[in-house]
Amino acid sequence: MTAATVVWFRLDLRLSDNPALHAAAARGGAVIPLYIWSPDEERPWQPGGATKWWLHHSLEELAARLERLGSPLVLRSGSSDQVLEDVARECGADAIYWNRRYEPHLAKRDAAVERKLSGRWNVATFNSALLREPDTIATKQGTPFQVFTPYWKACLATATEHEQDVVEAPRRMTPPLKPLKSERLSDWKLLPRRNWADHFREFGVPGELGARKRLSSFLNKGLDEYEAERNRPDHEGVSRFSAHLHFGELSPREVRDALRLHAHQGDGAAKKAAEAFLRQLYWREFAHHLLHHFPHTDRKPLREQFAKFPWTSDAAKLRAWQRGQTGFPIVDAGMRQLWRTGWMHNRVRMIVASFLVKDLLLSWQAGAAWFWDTLVDADLANNSLGWQWTAGCGADAAPYFRVFNPTSQGEKFDPEGDYVRRYVPELAKLPTKWIHRPEEAPADVLAKAGVTLGKDYPRPIVDHGRARDAALAAWRKIR
């Protein structure tokens, strides 16, 4: 009789296309799904507040699905190697499987766990999270890519030889002979104490089912307009897959296959739409590639000269940014969308990040830390890439001297002001002409809209023109 297999769940909270789970079920013995809560091992990147909320609900959903398949999810806290050892002994397992993680500090931890356990158990690891694992691609010189377009072209050119097929979800699973002890999810206290997360479901529904529904609704309405709509925060033009992809509730391979089908069944426009979206998915792959090969870039700039950048420190300005009280409506709308829903549109992420590092001269690391705590999709690779890109200090980054003007960005990408009206309701009655520049609105217009600047809504905390000059002067010092 085949002995039991322990499957260590991490950022792969799904049954479908889960290679570790699939391989364990295929062995034929009992399968023991296990989740270990070990935030200390994730230092300095322990899960932030918003991702803990998502994790709680995702685990709840996964547990219910596993229960229906026949083998309940075991929850334990403690050091990963010790818990794996304990659980494997308790159920008489001879094998331990998991899907790989790529954050450098966790990959190191996993390698140590594997070394420790593999003498006594059959340890096998799989790829569930990426279309292209970071070590499987390099430039012609054998070095890591640092520019996106050649990376993406090289990935496409060599895709077939590296492609992994989607694997099916197990139909049923054999439980261990004796039920294993499991901790109570509520004892991990992943949910925020106050009512902060009350509106997070406006962004999405945690779990594999929510992910699948999102995938099918995006394919049916969304994908074909993606290229035209993806920069419009006032529209529903993006997929909102990010948290599902981060937690592994959605498999990138299943998305890839769905895009192929869409292209195959549609016309030339459908093919173009599918390619545009796949390209965006490859930014996620590129982010993992970079963080793997430049493991310091979660904290330090990739471009070394930026280590000497004269960032300022100003707690009041940082707080005004965090709370959406800067006096720049598009920035404030973005920061309030983030606080309310745990998510922010990509275009607005770029605008608020640029505002922090260029208008306020506060460090990108301070911004990345706030995002880490407040985004439900906080992802070390994507967040590090996004911040370094905006600050001009990363791979293939926007040049530092290209400074976004938050007012004209707002007018361009939220032309009717609907996005601002939604998240900054105190400006809702301002005519569109003034919605992105309330400080320039005539007194009678402000009065009619019920806005007293400095009371209902802040005056701009910086003068953008002067802030831009200061940012460029700071950049010249390190150039």
Residue 240 binding ligand FAD, by CB under 6 A: yes
- Residue (74 or 393) nearer to ligand FAD, CB: 393
Residue 385 binding ligand FAD, by CB under 6 A: yes
Residue 52 binding ligand FAD, by CB under 6 A: no
b/e string for 61-70 if b means 16 or more Cβ within 10 A?
A: bbbebbeebe
Residue 377 binding ligand FAD, by CB under 6 A: yes
Indicate which single residue of 283, 311, 412, 422 sits in contact with ligand FAD (rule: CB under 6 A).
283
- Residue (100 or 246) nearer to ligand FAD, CB: 246
52, 91 contact by CB (below 8 A): no
Residue 250 binding ligand FAD, by CB under 6 A: no
Residue 297 binding ligand FAD, by CB under 6 A: no
Indicate which single residue of 284, 289, 336, 421 sits in contact with ligand FAD (rule: CB under 6 A).
284
Among 109-117, 279-287, 412-420, 469-477, which window interacts with ligand FAD (CB under 6 A)? Answer: 279-287
Q: How many residues bind ligand FAD (CB under 6 A)?
A: 28
By CB neighbour count within 10 A (0-12 exposed, 13-18 middle, 19+ buried), where does 437 fall?
Answer: middle
The footprint of ligand FAD on residues 342-371 (CB under 6 A) is 346, 349-350, 353, 371
> CA dihedral defined by 230, 231, 235, 236, rounded to 10 degrees?
30
Residue type, 262: H
Residue among 365, 287, 369, 370 at smallest CA distance from 334: 370
Residue 241 binding ligand FAD, by CB under 6 A: yes
Contact letters for ligand FAD, residues 195-234 (x by CB under 6 A): -----------------------------------x----
Shortest distance, position 127 Cβ to ligand FAD, whole Å: 16
Residue 59 binding ligand FAD, by CB under 6 A: no
Residue 274 binding ligand FAD, by CB under 6 A: no
Residue 387 binding ligand FAD, by CB under 6 A: yes
Residue 256 binding ligand FAD, by CB under 6 A: no
- The whole-angstrom separation of Cα 339 and Cα 326 is 15
Shortest distance, position 208 Cβ to ligand FAD, whole Å: 16
Tell me the residue nearest to ligand FAD as measured from the CB: 386
Residue 245 binding ligand FAD, by CB under 6 A: yes
- The whole-angstrom separation of Cα 464 and Cα 351 is 13
Residue 386 binding ligand FAD, by CB under 6 A: yes
Shortest distance, position 426 Cβ to ligand FAD, whole Å: 26
Residue 246 binding ligand FAD, by CB under 6 A: yes
- Residues engaged in binding ligand FAD (CB under 6 A): 230, 238-242, 245-246, 280-281, 283-284, 287, 346, 349-350, 353, 371, 375, 377-379, 382-383, 385-387, 390
